[in-house]
A and B are shown apart, each in its own frame.
Chain A
Amino acid sequence: MIKKLTLLIVVILFLSAQQGISQEWLVPADKQSIENPSDYNLENVKKGKDLYMTNCKSCHGDAGKNNSLALVPLPPDIASETMQANSEGSLFYKLSNGKGLMPAFETTLPEADRWLLVNYIMNYSPDNTPVWVDLPPVKARLKATVNTVNRLVEIFAEAENKTGNYSNLTETPVNVCVERAFGNLPIGQVLTDNEGNAEFSIPENIIGDEEGFVTVVVSLGEDFEAKKVTVEKLKIGIPKETPKLIKKGVIWSTNENIPMWMLLSYLGAVGGAWLAIIYVVFQIVKIRRLSKE
């Protein structure tokens, strides 16, 4: 108990110390003033955004939404004042070297990518005009059918345009998943063509339920507001193997597959004993009857 308490105190001290230090995460002056070698433009910001989505979002959350992970210290939102108070050089230094729970990305990302991330953060700087604007999701419609013979998911997508009418959704990624017990498992992504159509070829090695049935879920990305299409009970998977826990004929089986000799021995022994007991009880009745003679 005392050990646990000590550990708890140490952890609390360590975390609060970190929080204290984080507010004054000092960056050497020469590092602060390094200039970003890549240009601040839409292309670079978009690349930075993709990198952010895979490497940073899990802790820092969506820009401007203040939905970062509840860690101590709290990972700041990239659009926040705390984050934007840093110079580009400081941002690069911090995300390269890391501190505490913040990983040192110089071990995982090339220098160019780290500068692209800085570009994406700078998109939210009060001093810059944003080149990338997060638009509200577009209303879209999705249709999908599954051809079990050719093992193809045939998709058609359309989205609402500025005039309020629906037109074909072109060159847009569509996600294909299969339903699993605890969520959807992504099995691939496909781009729509100029007519809003897409075809996804289902892999051969999808495992289904005991009979091989699979449920396919087709959806659009986060930029669209569209209902997912769920196609149930498709015979396109490999039947799931469910090994029988108790094989037939095992001596310790359940009643469903108890060996016949075992059942008969038990019932025979118990039945025999109780028949004899009933016979003896009958003898008692007989003794009583004989008293009246």
Chain B
Amino acid sequence: MEMNKIESPEESRKLLDKIVFDLTRSIVKKDELTRFWFFILIVFAGVGLWGWAIQIDQGLGVTGMRDYVSWGMYIANFVFFVAFSLVGFLISSAMHLLNIHWVKPISRVAEQVAIAGVALAGIIIVMDMGRPDRLLNVFLHGRFASPIVWDLTVVTTYLTISVLLFYIPLIPDLALLRDRLGDEVPKWKMKIYTILSLGWKGNAKQYKTVYHAMRVLMILIVPVGLSIHTVTSWLFAATLRAGWDTTIFGPYFVAGAFVAGVAAVIILMYIYRIRHGLQEYFEDIHFDKMAKLLVFVSLVYLYFNVNEFLVPGYKMKTAEGIHLSNIFSGGYSLMFWSVQISGLILPTILLLFKFFRKPLSLVIISVVVLATAWLKRFIIVIPTMEHPFLPIQNVPENFHHYAPTSIEIMITLFSFCAAILIISVLAKFFPVITIWEYAEEKGIDKKYLSEQPKN
């Protein structure tokens, strides 16, 4: 650990004050734009909820899903959000355990993404049910050998761990907010900080407990994080359907999840950097490193893609052949090739050049990567369902193909707004960087953290 200890107390206090000021400015500041942002999110989420009300009232017939394609945009969206959330495991656990220092300021952003993603993944599953009240039946009559039960278990577990991994490193920061923000925030907010900071004193034993609990969670999240997306992939791979019947779906999904998650974290970092003026915290070097990480995970994902499509494409077994022709050169070919080229191959090549690893160009590439990541899940879920082993016959024309209806789009819109809302609320309430950890990295001794500021 490179620790450039700052000897002079004045210097330490001055630097700490600056860090606290910079990272809490967004919490303290009251501005119209933030209010408008929340207003817009709540309105659009409300519109989506209205769509859900219509769906509950009239049944799943309002969606484009029929007897053959019974998993539509909701399930594709579910897979996307599970994927999106997995970056919490990669950055705040795996890379922390590997002692990679530059990720430390990014880990809270990654946890925000993880919480929002996995919470929405759970909600989307309920929204995909025609009778949400029957969710209870999974607990009452679920089979322990069913991937659906495993999925429900692992989503709940991962959400709990992600919340804890967000909260525990937050405790010393909450104490800082409690001690330093004073009248700058409303009383109710201060009350929340006071309660959540658990009366933190900052003694050595407390820090030791925080480190210990964080370490337990980081280790625990490795198997749970891998499980969440592996089990999600098994929902598909455990069935005998062309396109899903593959043994590499677990690692294929995990690799794809890292691509989506890293892109999401880059976008958030950029927004915080610009919006909250955190250029000194989310530095160019962080973007450069994240870009390299994105290249690395994209290459891994590309490797799995080659395996996933080249091997069955070489053999073109009957049913598999129909499915593959449909996505290579049939109705889904435009979507498929634009996803593979603009979401995977092109970003990987571009990011090899230093120029594209600069914040602005990187964030543009990340937006494309994230959008195509969503479309990729659509391609994984829907085309397979349009090609059952028994031919589709004697059914209405609209059973043959799937197209999402406006209700489905409304509900999907809700999921996006709700996810962004969760992230926005977390960013509005708590510092986006772990202050105490950051201060420590900058060489400020912990004793200054628990000092009461002299106003």
Which residues of A line the B interface, CB within 8 A?
A: 251-255, 258-259, 262-263, 266-267, 269-270, 273-274, 276-277, 279-281, 283-284, 286-288, 290-293
Contact = CB atoms under 8 A, between A and B. Distances in A.
A150 to B, nearest CB: 49
Contacts of B160: 277
A258, A273, A286, most chain B CB atoms within 10 A = A273
Given A276-B216, A287-B213, A293-B201, 18 more contacts: A251-B145, A252-B145, A254-B143, A258-B143, A262-B145, A273-B224, A277-B160, A277-B161, A277-B220, A283-B213, A284-B168, A287-B200, A287-B209, A287-B210, A288-B198, A290-B203, A291-B199, A291-B200
3 interchain residue pairs of minimum CB distance: A291-B199, A283-B213, A288-B198
A269 B231 CA distance: 13
Contacts of A291: 198-201, 206
A273 B220 contact: yes
5 contacts: A252-B146, A254-B143, A280-B213, A287-B206, A292-B199
A290 B168 contact: no
A41 to B, nearest CB: 55
Interface residues of B, number: 31
Interface of B: 143-146, 150, 153, 157, 160-161, 164, 167-168, 171, 198-201, 203, 205-206, 209-210, 212-213, 216-217, 220, 223-224, 227, 238
B164 A293 contact: no
A283 B224 CA distance: 20
Nearest to B158: A273
Contacts of B168: 280, 283-284
A266 B201 CA distance: 40
A227 to B, nearest CB: 45
A293 B178 CA distance: 19
A293 B199 contact: no
A199 to B, nearest CB: 52
Contacts of B213: 280, 283-284, 287
B205 A266 contact: no
Contact of B164 (A258, A262, A267, A280): A280
Contacts of A274: 157
Given A255-B144, A284-B168, A290 B201 contact: yes
Nearest to A264: B144
B157 A263 contact: no
B209 A270 contact: no
B339 to A, nearest CB: 32
A283 B217 CA distance: 11
A292 B238 CA distance: 52
B209 A283 contact: yes
A281 B227 CA distance: 22
B217 A280 contact: yes
Contacts of B223: 269, 273
A266 B150 CA distance: 8
B164 A277 contact: yes
Contacts of B150: 266
Nearest to B208: A290
Nearest to A262: B145
A287 B198 contact: yes
A266 B157 CA distance: 13
A252 B146 CA distance: 7
A224 B145 CA distance: 60
A287 B167 CA distance: 12
A270 B205 contact: no
A261 to B, nearest CB: 11
A284 B165 CA distance: 12
A267 B149 CA distance: 12
Contacts of A252: 143, 145-146, 238
A284 B146 CA distance: 34
A258 B213 CA distance: 36
Given A286-B209, A287-B210, A291-B201, A280 B216 contact: yes
Nearest to A251: B145
Given A258-B145, A276-B220, A290-B205, A284 B157 contact: no
A293 B213 CA distance: 19
B341 to A, nearest CB: 38
Given A276-B220, A283-B213, A293 B203 contact: yes
B255 to A, nearest CB: 22
B198 A263 contact: no
Contacts of B217: 280
Nearest to A276: B220
B144 A263 contact: yes
Contacts of A293: 201, 203, 205
A287 B144 contact: no
Contacts of B199: 288, 291-292
Contacts of B201: 290-291, 293
Contacts of B216: 276, 279-280, 283
Nearest to B201: A291
A262 B143 CA distance: 11
Contact of A290 (B146, B206, B238): B206
A254 to B, nearest CB: 6
A273 B238 CA distance: 24
Nearest to B217: A280
A266 B198 contact: no
Contacts of A290: 201, 203, 205-206, 209
Contacts of A279: 216
Contacts of A270: 153, 157
Contact of B198 (A255, A267, A284): A284
A248 B213 CA distance: 42
A283 B143 contact: no
A178 B256 CA distance: 63
